[in-house]
Amino acid sequence: KNKEKITTKLTMISATRGFSRWKVLEYQIRALATMPNMNYKERTYIMIKPDGVQRKLIGNVITRFENRGFRLSALKMMRPDKSLLETHYKELKDLPFFPHLMDYMQSGPVVCMIWEGYEAVKIGRLMLGATKPIDSMPGTVRGDFGQVSGRNIVHGSDALGSAEREIALWFKPEEILEW
Ligand code: DAT
Ligand code: MG
């Protein structure tokens, strides 16, 4: 009988814990949902680049997005081929550093993610920090860990249009989860 009591209690505790952890995120999302014209399901494409993986910053980047209240909709690790990277960075193809960018991005695996939440694109960019190291503020990923333009740890979509394009480029629809 005592054993039964303990089991019930443990089940209650774990249920409560799971519930409250979920609530933290739900409260933010529900508050936003009550405000008109607010898209709290905006999605952005965030990618940990080969140097970020090599420097063991995967967990650090994920934790930042979880802590800010964003929801992970998709996640995978892969080694992108040249044609995928050329499509991803097609706007930069005429710039002098483009061949170096291609080599760098093929130097190891990357971690591809979709993060969802209110103003995910803009807030995501803020959290990553500016492209130029001298402009990336302390507290951002690049401002905390980066020193040079060519090795800046993470990618983040810079506008709604590019987010949609990048999500469609890097993920198949069945890899994206709604929860
Ligand atoms: P961001 O990654 O901030 O969106 P971007 O899209 O202009 O910046 O450039 C894509 C990547 O190209 C960037 O993350 C690193 C590289 N890059 C940009 N400017 C560079 C430069 N001046 N020298 C070397 N690499 C550069
Ligand atoms: Mg960019």
pLDDT digits 0-9 by tens, 156-179: 999 999 999 999 999 999 999 998
Residue 83 has pLDDT above 60, yes or no: yes
Kindly report, residue by residue over 56-71, the tens digit of the pLDDT.
Answer: 999 999 999 999 999 9
- Report which of residues 4 and 149 the model is more confident about: 149
88 is catalytic: no
Kindly report, residue by residue over 94-123, the tens digit of the pLDDT.
Answer: 999 999 999 999 999 999 999 999 999 999
The model's confidence at residue 37, banded by pLDDT at 50, 70 and 90, is confident
Cα-based distances in Å from 12 to 7, 9, 18: 9, 5, 10
Whose atoms come closest to the Cα of 162: which ligand?
2
Q: How far is the CA of 49 from the centre of ligand 2 (A)?
A: 13
Chain mean pLDDT for the chain: 89
Residue 8 has pLDDT above 70, yes or no: no
Asked if residues 152 and 135 have their Cβ atoms less than 8 Å apart, the reply is no
Q: Which of 146, 155, 166, 170 is catalytic?
A: 155
Mean pLDDT, residues 46-58 taken together: 98
- Ligand 1 contact via 131 beta carbon (within 6 Å): yes
Mean pLDDT, residues 134-161 taken together: 96
- Report which of residues 24 and 111 the model is more confident about: 111
Q: How far is the CA of 76 from the centre of ligand 1 (A)?
A: 23
Q: How far apart are CA 90 and CA 102, in angstroms?
A: 11
Residue nearest to atom 8 of ligand 1 (CA): 131
The model's confidence at residue 19, banded by pLDDT at 50, 70 and 90, is very low
Residue ranges with CB less than 5 Å from ion ligand 2: 158
Residue 141 has pLDDT above 70, yes or no: yes
Position 64 scores a pLDDT of: 97
The residue to mutate among 103, 106, 131, 153, having the most atoms of ligand 1 within 8 angstroms of its beta carbon, is 131
Position 9 scores a pLDDT of: 55
Q: How far is the CA of 158 from the centre of ligand 2 (A)?
A: 6
Residue nearest to atom 16 of ligand 1 (CA): 150
Asked if residues 145 and 58 have their Cβ atoms less than 8 Å apart, the reply is no
Q: How far is the CA of 98 from the centre of ligand 1 (A)?
A: 9
Position 38 scores a pLDDT of: 77
- Ligand 1 contact via 11 beta carbon (within 6 Å): no
Residue 130 CB-density burial (10 A; 0-12 exposed, 13-18 middle, 19+ buried): middle
Mean pLDDT, residues 13-28 taken together: 56
Q: How far apart are CA 157 and CA 126, in angstroms?
A: 11
Residue 22 has pLDDT above 80, yes or no: no
